[in-house]
Chain A
Amino acid sequence: MNRVAMDWRTAPLAAVDAALCVYADKLTRTPHAMTAADVDALRAAGLDDAGVHDAAQVIGYFNYINRVADGLGITNEDFVRSWEVAGAPMPREAQAPAPATDAGAD
């Protein structure tokens, strides 16, 4: 899980888990760009409708709770060592607002 936290793209994952990460990343960054093909990829990896549904809900939930946490200025628990301290640079896109670009850059 630590490898996933550092960079899921290079972590050794089972095919279904890699497909879930791709879906989660896209749904988080560009929810407007989701298509049936994104779900087809999850089905191809072995998920059924219930699994796809739950993936979308879990992804949605954490997008919601991340915003509540950051919007209200949450502080880390005393015992936690943050990713930055552990040496993982934060995603560049998360450090500053991305400039407006043409659609299709992704």
Chain B
Amino acid sequence: MPYVDVIGLDRADGLLKDEYDAAMHRAGRIWHIVSLMSQNPRAMRQSMRFYGALMFGPSPLSRSQREMLATVVSRTNGCVY
């Protein structure tokens, strides 16, 4: 289990509920990396927006290259998720 309390969809209201709804709309599910930020919905919102801009916005790097970078970084850090 995570080391902090994760506020689930059933308990979410206000900004957190809005972010969960957005996450469901984007992906059809709430990924653990999203709900892990439930303690700070404002940070969650900006983090997700930043992620969207970087990984899906116009770039000289292809989607595949950006995912490759994500993979190399995560592997180097030993991040299993």
Contact = CB atoms under 8 A, between A and B. Distances in A.
A41 interface: no
Interface residues of A, number: 45
Interface of B: 1-4, 31-33, 36-37, 47, 50-51, 54-55, 59-61, 64-81
Given A20-B68, A62-B69, A75 B77 contact: no
Interface string A1-45: 100110010000000110011001100110000000000000000
State the majority secondary structure of interface residues on B: helix
Contact of A24 (B32, B55, B64, B69): B69
Interface in A52-98: 54-55, 57-59, 61-63, 65-77, 82-84, 90-91, 93-95
State the majority secondary structure of interface residues on A: helix
B75 to A, nearest CB: 6
A94 B59 contact: no
Contacts of A66: 73-74, 77, 79, 81
Contacts of A72: 2-4, 36
Nearest to B67: A1
Given A54-B60, A74-B36, A76-B81, A91 B76 contact: yes
